Structure 1
Amino acid sequence: MRDPEFYLPAILLITAFACRLPGIRQTWRDPLLRTVNALLIVASSVFFFAAPTTIAGINRITGVPNFSAPLVYSILTAFSASCLVLIINWRGGPPQAARRVTLRCVTAYSLVIITLFTLFALADAPVERLRDLDTYYANTAYMREMIVLYLVAHTVAALVTTWLCWGWSLKVRGWLRAGLVLIVVGYLLNLVFDAVKYVAVGARWLGRDLDYLSTGVAPPVASVSALLIGSGFIVPLVGPRLSETWRSWSAYRKLGPLWCALHAAPAPACAAVKMNWWSPVRLRLTQRESGILDGFLSLAPYFDRTLHGEALDAALRSGAEPKQAEAVADAAMIAAALAARNNDPEGAALSATAPDPSPTIGRARDLIGVSQAYSCSAIVEAVRVNAARSENTHP
């Protein structure tokens, strides 16, 4: 792999971490979110330090050929431990039990990291290898053990995490399940990475050369795996917020026909309050809902309850569900009220009639149904046509 193929995943992962920086101070005491942040940093570090250019630079700075080998293996081991710790905290359960298992996991993998550096210090590896160290030193004393140790530690973490996440994914739904499935797929690719490495190293033990598996196949598998795993941990945290934003935008858009009708000339039923384009969608939705409800209040003197009942009966006869029929009746009454208001520029009805707003359209949760009925219902269109005809015949 070329350097960009290492650095690109590193940049993507650290960017995901940077997106979380604004809220880090408020969530720093949450062990789950702390572990997510640590995981993103460690995962990004794996790719950054595994790039050949970075490897050569660290070897040159330290003056020790292949010093990057135990460093990269240690970061990869820390990544495996971070994933296990995150799953332990993510699943919940008694806090004391989670802390106890977390401590055991961190202790075990810390010992693995210490052992990796110890084995490297005992080994004789004077020839710098930037891409094929695993296979080049597969038969070298202590280097062989170091390579096998990091692969075994990585495999154990992948197997345990895959098993935990798969079992958990069968019990949950929604964004959490989607995230767990991504993690499972990512760790299955991790197992493919380990298998390819085992085959390449084992071939060297048997006197054969399958180095291309280690240098050409394993790195891209690792890149895809890390991105899937990182995405799997982020999706359940970001997904609900995206869903809420999408629902708000969808509701905002669906309220458009009713909003436009109430603000149409020549006699708008309510005043429009301008908002900046960068205003949060939830705030924009609330403003639109409030504006529509204010418009209903101004139209109350023109509401025709008899027409409402007739439209309701017509909608029910056409096969509409009761809630849908109520929305059609409300929309029909609004259409007629708007026409009546336009025919009353002096506001005579305002003093002659006491406000009697419809109880149904006074509830914001029904507004979307009313708005859709206003723009799509044949019954509402018929009321609108009749009102226009009456306006033309009674100047």
Structure 2
Amino acid sequence: MTAEPSSVGFYVYGIMLLLVCAMKFPALLRRRHDTLLRAACLLLFAAGCLMLFAAPASITALNRITGITNFAAPVVYVTTTAFSGASLLLMVNWRPAPPERTRRVSRLCVTVYGLAILAVAVLFWAGTTPTEQPTLFDVHYATTPFIREMIVVYLVAQGVAMAIASALCLRWSGEVRGSLRAGLRILAPAYLLIVCYVVLRLTAVAARWTGHDLDFLVDRVSPLFSAPACVLGALGFFVPLAGPRVAQTARAVRELWRLAPLWRVLRDIPTPGAIRAPLPWWRTPPAVLLTGRRTALYDALLALTPHYDPAVREAALRTALRNGDDEDRAAAVADSAMVLAARERQRAGPGQPVLPTGTTVPRTRDLTALSRSLASSVVHDLRDHRAPQQKAAHHE
């Protein structure tokens, strides 16, 4: 069978959801009692099956293969009800609450939606649907005994679950921050769009009960809500999962940028005994690169220990305090000046006497503050003042 153009999106999205579900299956086997993971896997599986079964080409194929007119209708409705229950179950287990309360509500959710699924199957078996209706099934059989009740059961079950899930998302989003809050704020309108979808279809069904024709709400208006709801739903679940990693990467990149001045000063300092594994930036995660950069900077500061001159630090500290810096800022500036002077002494080679090591080390352990203070006018003045001295010593 060749999929219709309108079915391709259903199949692509459905297969992606099932693949993600399959990727989580090994974790589910290891953590069988993890109710949140089970709810997530159930949601992914139900959503993937719903996309595959709801594709127009699949509806036609299911009816033809089984030989049962409109057999695709209860299949889609059962899957829709399962997806609705799984969505509500996931929200119940995702939101922090006392364990006993979570278990009680979860059992209630499973029982109610399990009965709804059973009701859809039984009512379809009890009713008759002689005319195939791939797109207007809800309104065409809105007055048919048993089928009418089946339609109402699946629509009400879906609408109630989505409304509760949306309310839970909005309420919970006020209690959290960061990417989780953003994800919940995205999920809430996604669920509301599905509620609008249900209301439109129920309105068209109720119109048939009163002898009116609002069928266009089913085949032309309500489908417009499906794509935005799917996109927002996927984004809402993706943001809390990817948000912390993205934020961590952004922080690492920002920290690498702040350490760049200090790295340019110390990257050529030999560090005997230290192991520096090459970390190419294009294929190294920023967090790993940051750890390696910090380690290398600490190794370089330690290697400069024999060349630290406390007199340089004290002079820079007095100058920084005189210029109006607070004690922490002045201490960082003084350490930067001492590190810069030690680097120049180390570069000068064997001709420079080694200072007594003692306990003279930079007192500032914050590498970011040390790097930022390199831009201080005190450090620049020291660099400009020592440059002619270094040249003169070199000529002598």
- TM above 0.5, one fold? yes
Give the CA deviation at 1:106.
0.5
After superposition, where does 1:178-327 map in structure 2 within 5 Å?
Answer: 178-264=182-268, 268=270, 272-275=276-279, 278-327=283-332
Judge which range, 273-282 or 89-98, deviates more: 273-282
Asked if structure 2 preserves the Cα contact closer than 8 Å seen for 1:65 and 1:126, the reply is yes
Give the CA deviation at 1:28.
4.6
CA RMSD across the alignment? 2.7
Q: Which residue type is aligned with residue 59 of structure 1?
A: N
Q: Which residue type is aligned with residue 340 of structure 2?
A: A
Give the CA deviation at 1:110.
0.7
User: 2-side partners of 1:201 and 1:314: how far apart?
Assistant: 83
User: 1-side partners of 2:10 and 2:82: how far apart?
Assistant: 18
User: 2-side partners of 1:80 and 1:319: how far apart?
Assistant: 64
Equivalent residue in structure 2 for 1:333, among 318, 331, 338: 338
Change (3 A) 1:311 1:60: farther
Three-state SS of the structure 1 residue aligned to 2:6 is coil
* 1:381 match: 380
Matched, 1:137 2:141: yes
Asked if structure 2 preserves the Cα contact closer than 8 Å seen for 1:339 and 1:388, the reply is no
Q: Which string of whole-angstrom CA distances, capped at 9 and with x for unpartnered residues, describes residues 341-385 of structure 1?
A: 212x227544x5225443534x3xx112222333x3333233222
* 2:161 match: 157
Give the CA deviation at 1:340.
1.9
- Return the structure number with greater relative CO, CA threshold 8 A, min gap 6: 1
Judge which range, 185-194 or 84-93, deviates more: 84-93
User: 1-side partners of 2:382 and 2:206: how far apart?
Assistant: 81
User: 2-side partners of 1:145 and 1:182: how far apart?
Assistant: 33
Matched, 1:71 2:70: no
Give the CA deviation at 1:174.
2.1
User: 1-side partners of 2:116 and 2:314: how far apart?
Assistant: 77
Q: Which residue type is aligned with residue 132 of structure 2?
A: E
Q: Which string of whole-angstrom CA distances, capped at 9 and with x for unpartnered residues, describes residues 275-327 of structure 1?
A: 36544443332221111111001111222323323333444454545433333
Q: Which string of whole-angstrom CA distances, capped at 9 and with x for unpartnered residues, describes residues 182-214 of structure 1?
A: 221111112111122123323333444433322
Equivalent residue in structure 2 for 1:61, among 59, 65, 69: 65
Change (3 A) 1:25 1:328: farther
Q: TM-score, normalised by structure 2?
A: 0.87
After superposition, where does 1:65-144 map in structure 2 within 5 Å?
Answer: 65-144=69-148
Judge which range, 172-181 or 152-161, deviates more: 172-181
Q: Which residue type is aligned with residue 373 of structure 2?
A: A
Give the CA deviation at 1:268.
4.3
Give the CA deviation at 1:333.
2.0
Q: TM-score, normalised by structure 1?
A: 0.87
* 2:370 match: 370
User: 1-side partners of 2:95 and 2:119: how far apart?
Assistant: 30
Q: Percent identity?
A: 38
Q: Which residue type is aligned with residue 310 of structure 2?
A: R
Three-state SS of the structure 2 residue aligned to 1:394 is helix
Q: Which residue type is aligned with residue 178 of structure 1?
A: A
Equivalent residue in structure 1 for 2:172, among 168, 172, 176: 168
